Amino acid sequence: MKKTIFTGAAVAITTPFNLDGTINYEGLADNIDYQIDNGTDAIVICGTTGESSTMTDAEHRECIKFAVEHTNHRIPVIAGTGSNDTRYAIELSVEAEKLGVDGLLLVTPYYNKTTQAGLIDHFTIIANSVKTPIILYNIPGRTGMNIAVETLEKLGHHKNIVAVKEASGNISYTAQVAAACGDLLDIYSGNDDMIVPIMSLGGKGVISVLSNILPKETHEICQLCLDNNFKAAGEMQIKYLELINALFCEVNPIPVKEAMNQLGMAAGACRMPLAKMGGENVARLIAAMRKAGMPVSVVD
């Protein structure tokens, strides 16, 4: 059996920006410490929620370096190094490995996409270039393509490919992956509203947006599942469902950064083309946060 990178709740951490649009590293340090202090099991840096798609190459590398150094082995750090350019994904993955990450998160190629045979070649050549364990990222809603179950099974035989972040929203598909891949791949939920269903099928945890603002509670949902107390975990999942839905009422990470700003956390604005959150949705988000018992003070 392959080594599991983490169990429980990993935060898909946001990248805070200063008013001039530069990365707020002091704020990122505070956010990493807040996550660790509140039970988060791993940090995922430079993922979708971290707005890696609008980072320069230098920013991407520096952000990974900073997260590794500041976390300082307290919990695992997983770096998003996927790309629709195989050569660049290799280059970035090799660099992240040199920087000392504990895992790599590789999204399926987007826009140009590929075939299932192309996916196998793409992920295999990246995995052959590093020794760091890899989590594949299946999110067809953003990339326009799905990793077939048979493709995951084939990729699961590679020693460096150890897990999949499953964000298709299709629980039947996830069950098929669990049945086909067995001990070949760990499964992590990529959706906060499906933590309990996916973990009930043997999933090891979640890579979470919700954890940015409720790290302790997201960890607890996962821990209850790991303790086989799915009744209590399900009750928590339902308790926070309205907030989870509000966090995705606009394109991620627009709502979660708004929520963080409302809580006085370091977040700042999203980089264009992501726009400021609409007023009606801000009101919806604040209402959901208050219902969840969060101390919101309205920020204009």
Over residues 70-92, the mean pLDDT reads 98
Residue 32: is its pLDDT beyond 90? yes
Burial bucket for residue 58 (CB in 10 Å: 0-12, 13-18, 19+): exposed
CA atoms of 133 and 258, how far apart (whole Å): 33
Catalytic positions, written as ranges: 137, 165
Q: Which two tokens stand for residue 236?
A: 């928590």
Per-residue pLDDT tens for 255-278?
A: 999 999 999 999 999 999 999 999
Segments making up each domain of the chain, as ranges: 8-229
- Cα–Cα distance between 129 and 116 in angstroms, integer? 20
CATH code of 8-229, in short, is 3.20.20.70
Alpha-carbon distance of 281 to 167, in angstroms, equals 23
At residue 299 the predicted structure's pLDDT band, cuts being 50, 70 and 90, is: low
Say how far apart CA 227 and CA 213 lie, in whole Å.
23
pLDDT higher than 70, residue 237: yes
Torsion angle, alpha carbons of 246, 249, 250, 256, to 10: 10
Peptide bond into 197 cis (omega under 30): no
Tens of pLDDT, residues 108-125:
999 999 999 999 999 999
